[in-house]
Structures are given as C-alpha cells and as structure tokens.
Chain A
Amino acid sequence: DQQVKQNSPSLSVQEGRISILNCDYTNSMFDYFLWYKKYPAEGPTFLISISSIKDKNEDGRFTVFLNKSAKHLSLHIVPSQPGDSAVYFCAASVAGSARQLTFGSGTQLTVLP
C-alpha cells in the first residue's frame, strides 16, 4: 500500500522551461514533506522541504507547493537546467517518536539542452 505516490515515472523538459514534478499522498497524518534529488550511483540529496502548516516554500529555482485538501504536493523548477536531470523523490513523515520517511517511487527528470 503506497502512501506516497509519484505517478509519472519520467518527465522531459526543455532547458529554460519550468519542470513540475507531482506527488500524491494518502496518509492525512503526514505533516512534513521533502524532495530529494538522486544522481546515478549516489545517495539521495535533500533539496527542499515544507511543513504542513505552510502551502509554499521557495529556495532559489525550487518551489514546493502543498495542497493539503487534495493531499498533493508539487515541485517546480524554474528555469530548468541540464544539471537538474536526475531522479526526484518525494518523501513524507508523521510527527511522533520517530521521524520515519515514506518515499515515493521517484520521477526521472531529463532536461534537454
């Protein structure tokens, strides 16, 4: 039972355009959401996060939007660069005694020059 879903396994975008990666979740107890970027043969690298008390968080070219009523979050990358080509994982956690992350299956983003 996947509690965090990334329904698009891949996405291709032209350099300079906007990349939008989507993530849906089912567990209404999730209160913290993160995006990780992963290059081949490397570990996931933290990119940006958002608390459930917010609906938007921005860091440079990266913005995460959270729609709690729809249980949906998205990552916007503007402008997209070839170096952004990687697998992007959405993750979520529940407040409690242990901050266990539940990951989606990832979306492979390819930014075309």
Chain B
Amino acid sequence: DTAVSQTPKYLVTQMGNDKSIKCEQNLGHDTMYWYKQDSKKFLKIMFSYNNKELIINETVPNRFSPKSPDKAHLNLHINSLELGDSAVYFCASSQATGVGTDTQYFGPGTRLTVL
C-alpha cells in the first residue's frame, strides 16, 4: 500500500532525449514536491505544487517542466537531457503549506542516468 509512488525506478537514456517521471500519492495531501539528489548526496528542492498550482520554482533550467493534472499527481518532464541531469529524483507530498507544521513523505526515487 504505497503512499508516494514514482515510475520508473530507473531510467537510462541518451543525451538530447526527452523523458518523463511520474509521481502519485494516495495520502490525500494537497502539496507535492520534486527534489533532486546530486552526486554529493544533497537533496535540493526543484518544484512544489499546492492544489495543482506552482508555488516553488527554484533555479531549475526551463528544460524541466512539472505538470500536475490533479492534486494526487505531479509529473516531471525533462527536455533535451544533458549529462548533468544524471541524479536521483525524489517526489514528495505533504498535507499543508504555510499552516502550522507539515511533514513531507517521499517516494522511492527515480535514478536517471544520461549517457
């Protein structure tokens, strides 16, 4: 009974290709996030959506485009993949934003390798 799921778990592709990573949460949360874990193991926020609206957009190349068809899904589309995009991408969700405290729950990650 997975709370936050991501597909695929592994993605190997050539430079220049376009790929998507899907994320779904069944926790009923209203906020979802994408994080990138780089080679130095830092987890860095990329995007956040609250009720399908973009609320955080860190300095990320515009080749990365998040799409939220509904509040249970936040997909990440990447155009013209580059070698530096190789990383583990984590999706997360939380119940509230800016109201009291909230805890983020993470998916299992998608390891993207660009050759």
B41, B44, B98, B107: the one within 8 Å of A96 (CB): B98
A74: Cβ under 8 A from any B Cβ:
no
How many of A's residues come within 8 Å of B, CB to CB? 25
> How far, in Å, is A89 (CB) from chain B's closest CB?
7
Is B101's CB under 8 angstroms from A49's CB? yes
B50, B97, B104, B109: the one within 8 Å of A46 (CB): B104
A34 to B98, alpha carbons, bound, how many Å? 16
Within 8 A of B (CB), among A61-109: 87, 89, 91, 95-103, 105-106
A99 to B109, alpha carbons, bound, how many Å? 20
The chain B residues found within 8 Å of chain A, CB to CB, are: 4, 31, 40-45, 48, 50, 55-56, 90, 92, 94, 96-98, 101-109
Q: Please name 8 further chain A to chain B contacts, defined as beta carbons within 8 Å, in addition to the given A46-B105, A97-B97, A99-B98, sorted by A numbering.
A: A32-B101, A41-B109, A43-B109, A98-B98, A99-B104, A101-B45, A102-B45, A106-B41
